[in-house]
Amino acid sequence: MESIGRQWYQLYENNPKIQAFAVVKDHEIVWQTENWNLVEDLKGIMKAQETAGSKLTVGGVKYKRISSSKDSYIASADKDGGHLLMAQIDSGVWAIAWAVASAVPELAMVDLTKSAISLRGAI
């Protein structure tokens, strides 16, 4: 999964407000940054994306959906909780990222989507 690591470093270099990253395939984490553990919350994250759920909790932080589509999901937390972003890489394969509260979620989503496109066919 070296290609994922390279893509993460490039994503962070382009947008340092994105501070955590994971790749999920068929509802299983195949790669995640050391500063983030989505194992416990993955089922809820994927369900929120699939159903366009208005709320989800990750790591004890409550997020509210800002926007979603069949291939993306953006949710933001109150105060300093940051933003949870999801972009589809391939069918059943997703890039998930966390951006700091000061990030503009829609702009961070553009960067995450570019990373997802770069990873197509690699996972």
Q: What domain range includes position 32?
A: 2-119
For the chain, how are helix, strand and coil distributed in percent, rounded to 5?
30, 40, 30
Q: Are 1 and 30 in contact (CB under 8 A)?
A: yes
Domain with residue 51: its CATH number is 3.30.450.30
What average pLDDT score do residues 11-39 get? Answer: 96
pTM comes to: 0.95
Cα separation, 108 vs 85, in Å, equals: 8
Residue 2 has pLDDT above 90, yes or no: no
Q: What is the percentage of the chain residues whose pLDDT exceeds 70?
A: 100
Q: What is the percentage of the chain residues whose pLDDT exceeds 90?
A: 93
Residue 123 has pLDDT above 90, yes or no: no
Place of tokens 């503009």: 104
Q: How many domains does the chain have?
A: 1
Q: Are 83 and 105 in contact (CB under 8 A)?
A: yes
Q: How confident is the prediction for the chain on average, in pLDDT?
A: 95
Cα separation, 8 vs 70, in Å, equals: 23
pLDDT at 79: 87
pLDDT band for 43, please (50, 70, 90 cuts): very high
Taking the CB of residue 94, how many other CB atoms lie within 10 A of it?
A: 23
